[in-house]
Amino acid sequence: MPSITIIGSLNYDLVTYTNKIPQGGETYQANSFETHVGGKGLYESIAVAKLTPPNSILMSHNDCGSDKIDIRMVGKIGDDSFGQQLKQFLIDNKVNVDHVITVINQTSGVAIILVEQNNNGENRILIIPGANGELKLDDKEYETIFSKNKGNDEFNSFVILQNEYPDTIKSINWIKKNRPQLNIAYNPSPFKSELITKELLSKIDLLIVNEGEALDVANHLMKNSHQQDLIDQINHINRGGSGDGGDNSKLLIEVFSKLAIELQQLINPHNVQVVIITMGSKGSIYIAKETNNNNNNNNNNNNNNNPQFIEARKVEKVIDTTGAGDTFFGAIVSNLALGKSIDYAIKFATTASSLTIQKKGAAEGIPSYQEVIDNL
């Protein structure tokens, strides 16, 4: 029985929709205000749960089977009403909350989100960590969460990590030392240069980054002349440099594809070894050690180590981009844990994220598995 364990942040979102972001000293009347459950850890866990076939989710320990996935959230909440709502939302969406701990005399994490409606739904986010800042697990807790006595299929199991809690490095080090067959899926967001080392990335099995994060990693770690040339090309294109016909998108895809190859050389070669660079409305690039040939019905190909580009789905009206990246991430991991090919997983995730951005509320806007299937 595979498992997908998400370790990360649980926040309560306070969202303001506005046509304009005020400058310093300026007051501006916004359009509306909403509250939502949030946090990258919650978004990712809800995405995994909603985008997994309902009959494949483990509902109780009496329901164990090789075709079931145990979807588990590891996090901390405050002893407040926000925390109660966060935990109940996870339960309602079939996420195992055995390892969601309430911290006494502490507030839950809060995210203040500004959504600029006249600018394609772009968002700006401020985070107050609250109980998330106390998410520091000891060895005994890791042993409990990743017990070898639960019949988990470690080869097809994943741990989803990001940088919205303080102990990401310890999580990665403990898992690779004690459960090396588990696949670590990592999004280095928010980017923290002090965390990103070649040693750390060598323990990552699936690295997913957007254009900015990919460039941040490259600037921080890539020093040889070829790598520096790629970085310079990207910076030149982003400043307005272009080739024939002025098609910057094609140039960026070409150069980021080369960068994906460089990034793949930094991560662990022994498990799935996947690098994905998401490029917003352009699409996404991926490179994998090998295609998954276990399921012949899932559009397998034989591209092996050649970077592949998948175009984004066309969307008539973007409402809110807040949860798009986390929806994409959760969809990728869910499909890989189920034995789907990376090509199928990317196409599924692309469809899922395109549906997410057409709704308000990052977690509430995540589509169901059936909605994605209907739109593939």
Q: 70, 216, 326, 343: which one is catalytic?
A: 326
Distances (CA, A) of 183 to 9, 153, 172, 261, 268: 20, 11, 10, 19, 10
Annotation-wise, does 164 bind a ligand?
yes
Annotation-wise, does 278 bind a ligand?
yes
**Residue 28 and residue 22: Cα distance in Å, rounded?**
6
Burial class (CB in 10 A: 0-12, 13-18, 19+), 90: buried
Annotation-wise, does 322 bind a ligand?
yes
Annotation-wise, does 150 bind a ligand?
no
**Residue 135 and residue 192: Cα distance in Å, rounded?**
17
Annotation-wise, does 205 bind a ligand?
no
Nearest alpha carbon to residue 340 among 64, 154, 156, 151 = 156
Strand bridging mode 11-18 / 32-38: antiparallel
Annotation-wise, does 250 bind a ligand?
no
Instruction: Tell me the torsion sign for CA atoms 239, 241, 242, 245.
Output: positive
**Residue 43 and residue 86: Cα distance in Å, rounded?**
11
Annotation-wise, does 13 bind a ligand?
yes
Annotation-wise, does 314 bind a ligand?
no
Tokens 């042993």 identify what position?
143
Is 326 an active-site residue? Answer: yes
Annotation-wise, does 5 bind a ligand?
no
DSSP assignment of 19-77: SS---TT-----SEEEEEEE-HHHHHHHHHHHTS-GGGB--SGGG--TT-BEEEEEEEE
Given a contact cutoff of 8 angstroms between Cβ atoms, the answer to whether 185 and 333 are in contact is yes
Annotation-wise, does 356 bind a ligand?
yes
Annotation-wise, does 55 bind a ligand?
no
**Residue 172 and residue 175: Cα distance in Å, rounded?**
5
Annotation-wise, does 168 bind a ligand?
no
Given a contact cutoff of 8 angstroms between Cβ atoms, the answer to whether 277 and 285 are in contact is yes
DSSP type of residue 229: H
Annotation-wise, does 291 bind a ligand?
no
Instruction: Tell me the torsion sign for CA atoms 277, 314, 371, 113.
Output: positive
Given a contact cutoff of 8 angstroms between Cβ atoms, the answer to whether 196 and 221 are in contact is yes
Annotation-wise, does 359 bind a ligand?
yes
Residue numbering of the annotated binding site for ATP:
210, 278-283, 325-326
Residue numbering of the annotated binding site for substrate:
11-13, 164, 326
Residues known to be catalytic: 326
Residue numbering of the annotated binding site:
11-13, 164, 210, 278-283, 320, 322, 325-326, 356, 359, 361
Residue numbering of the annotated binding site for K(+):
320, 322, 356, 359, 361
